[in-house]
DNA sequence: AAGGCGTGGTA
DNA sequence: TTACCAAGCCT
C-alpha cells in the first residue's frame, strides 16, 4: 500500500462518519459483541439483525443463557444456518459461567480456548470489547489488503490468514477495535467483490490495485477442482523375452508418450483381447498396485504380468527391457518399469 | 489439511 | 439453472 503512515487515520476518519447503525454497536457488553460475531460468521448483516435482537431480548445475560437448556436456545437460531455455532456458543457460555465468574475472559488466549472461538472471533471480540491490538481477518480483510497491496497471494492457501494478519498488524493503530470494524465495513460496503465503489473509497490514494487496474482480479482465489479417480489395469505383456508398449494419442493427457497397455479396471479379459486383437494369458494377481497424482486426477493402477505368442499388431511395439531409454515414458510408467526390473519379473 | 457445515442473495 | 458469495470453525 502507498502512504502507510496515514492509512489508518484516513480509514478511521471515514468509519466515524459512515458506520452503519447496528444493534450490537449500541453496547459495550462483551457478551453481546461476542454473540454478534458468532452470528455474523458467514452470514450477512441484514440477515443477522432480527435474529440478534430477538436473541438478546430473550437471553439478555450470560447467566440467563447458561441456565437455559440447549434445545430451547436453539429455537432462536432456527433458519440462521450453521447450527453447530449455537451449540458451541452455548457450551462456551456455560464454561464462562462455570469457570470465569460469568464474565467474558479479558485475555485473548483464554478466550480462544472456548468452544467455537477461532482466530477471527478472538481478534474481533478482544479488540472491539477490550481494545486488544489483535487482527480480525475475515473475507473482507483478505479482499481489502489484497487490493491495497496488489497482492496475488492465493486466499485458499492455508497460510493466507497469517499472511494477511501480519499486513494488518503493520498498520494497526491504537484504536484496534474501531480499526478492525472499519476494515470490514469498508469491505462490505465499498471494496466489494464484484462491483467495488472505488470512486467513493476513502483509501483510494493508498490502493496499488486501483492504480494498476487489477482491482477486479483480486483477491486471487484458486478454484478447487475435485480430483477424479481413474482405476486401470496395466499389462506387462511378455513375448519371446521382450515386452509390449504403446504410444498415447497425440493430444490430451501425456500426449504421444509411451506406456504399457492399460484398460479400465472393470474391463474383462475377453474385451482386452478383442481390443488388442491378440490372445493373452494374464496372471491372476497384480505384481504391484500404485497411485499416480496429476493436477486434476488420480490414477490407481494394478500391474499384471501377461503372456502371448501371437503376432504383435502394428500399433504396438515389442521392445527389450534394455531399450527403455529409447522411448519417452511418463513417471507413472517409469516407476512400473523400474519395479518390474528390480523385482526380477522379467522373462 | 481438505471437506463439511445452511441459508439467502445476486449475476 | 448454475455458480458464487457472506464478519469461520471444527475435525
Interatomic CA distance for residues A255 and A317, integer angstroms: 17
pTM surpassing 0.85? no
Cell of A11: 480509514
* C-alpha dihedral, A330 to A331 to A335 to A338, nearest 10°: 60
Task: Give the CA A332 to C1' B8 distance in Å.
Answer: 46
Q: Which nucleotide is nearest to A123 (CA to C1')?
A: C7
Q: What is the DSSP letter of A255?
A: T
Nearest protein residue to C10's C1' (by CA)? A116
Q: Is the distance from CB of A64 to CB of A57 less than 8 angstroms? A: no
Mean pLDDT by runs of 10 across the 347 residues of chain A is 94 94 94 96 92 96 96 90 92 97 97 96 97 95 95 90 95 97 94 92 95 92 70 94 91 84 92 96 92 74 95 95 89 90 81
- Whole-number pLDDT of residue A130: 97
Interatomic CA distance for residues A236 and A242, integer angstroms: 10
| HSE (side-chain half, CA atoms, 13 Å) at A213 | 0
Tens of pLDDT, residue by residue over A224-234, are: 655 667 889 99
Tens of pLDDT, residue by residue over A287-324, are: 998 888 776 677 889 999 999 999 999 999 999 999 98
Residue numbers of A annotated as active site: 37
Q: Which nucleotide is nearest to A184 (CA to C1')?
A: C7
Using a 7 Å CB cut-off, which residues contact strand C? A 22, 36-37, 40-45, 82, 84, 88, 115-122, 124, 138-140, 143, 181, 184-185, 187-188, 192-193, 221, 223
Task: Give the CA A24 to C1' B8 distance in Å.
Answer: 22
Nearest protein residue to C3's C1' (by CA)? A223
Q: Is the distance from CB of A126 to CB of A95 less than 8 angstroms? A: no
Task: Give the CA A44 to C1' B6 distance in Å.
Answer: 13
Amino acid at each position: 500500500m502507498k502512504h502507510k503512515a496515514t492509512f489508518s487515520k484516513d480509514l478511521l476518519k471515514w468509519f466515524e462518519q459512515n458506520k452503519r447503525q447496528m444493534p450490537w454497536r449500541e453496547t459495550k457488553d462483551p457478551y453481546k459483541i461476542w454473540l454478534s460475531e458468532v452470528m455474523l460468521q458467514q452470514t450477512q448483516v441484514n440477515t443477522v439483525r432480527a435474529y440478534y435482537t430477538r436473541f438478546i431480548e430473550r437471553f439478555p445475560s450470560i447467566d440467563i443463557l447458561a441456565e437455559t437448556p440447549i434445545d430451547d436456545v436453539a429455537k432462536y437460531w432456527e433458519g440462521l444456518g450453521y447450527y453447530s455455532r449455537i451449540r458451541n456458543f452455548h457450551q462456551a457460555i456455560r464454561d464462562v459461567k462455570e469457570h470465569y465468574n460469568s464474565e467474558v475472559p479479558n485475555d485473548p488466549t483464554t478466550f480462544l480456548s472456548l468452544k467455537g472461538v477461532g482466530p477471527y472471533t478472538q481478534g474481533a471480540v478482544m479488540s472491539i470489547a477490550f481494545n486488544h491490538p489483535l487482527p480480525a481477518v475475515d473475507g473482507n480483510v483478505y479482499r481489502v489488503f489484497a487490493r491495497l497491496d496488489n497482492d496475488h497471494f492465493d486466499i485458499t492457501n492455508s497460510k493466507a490468514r497469517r499472511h494477511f494478519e501480519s499486513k494488518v498488524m503493520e498498520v494497526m493503530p491504537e484504536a484496534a477495535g474501531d480499526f478492525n470494524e472499519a476494515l470490514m465495513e469498508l469491505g462490505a460496503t465499498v471494496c466489494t467483490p464484484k462491483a467495488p465503489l472505488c470512486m467513493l473509497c476513502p483509501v483510494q490514494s493508498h490502493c496499488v490495485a486501483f492504480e494498476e487496474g487489477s482491482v477486479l482480479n483480486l483477491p486471487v482465489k484458486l478454484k478447487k477442482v475435485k480430483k477424479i479417480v481413474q482405476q486401470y489395469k496395466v499389462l506387462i505383456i511378455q513375448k519371446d523375452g521382450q515386452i509390449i508398449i504403446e504410444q498415447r494419442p497425440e493430444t490430451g493427457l501425456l500426449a504421444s508418450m509411451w506406456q504399457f497397455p492399460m484398460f479400465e479396471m472393470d474391463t474383462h479379459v475377453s474385451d482386452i483381447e478383442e481390443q488388442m486383437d491378440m490372445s493373452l494369458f494374464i496372471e491372476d494377481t497384480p505384481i504391484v498396485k500404485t497411485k499416480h497424482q496429476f493436477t486434476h486426477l488420480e490414477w490407481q493402477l494394478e500391474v499384471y504380468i501377461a503372456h502371448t505368442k501371437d503376432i504383435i499388431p502394428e500399433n504396438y511395439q515389442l521392445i527389450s527391457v534394455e531399450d527403455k531409454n529409447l522411448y519417452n515414458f511418463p513417471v507413472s510408467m517409469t516407476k512400473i518399469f523400474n519395479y518390474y526390473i528390480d523385482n526380477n519379473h522379467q522373462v
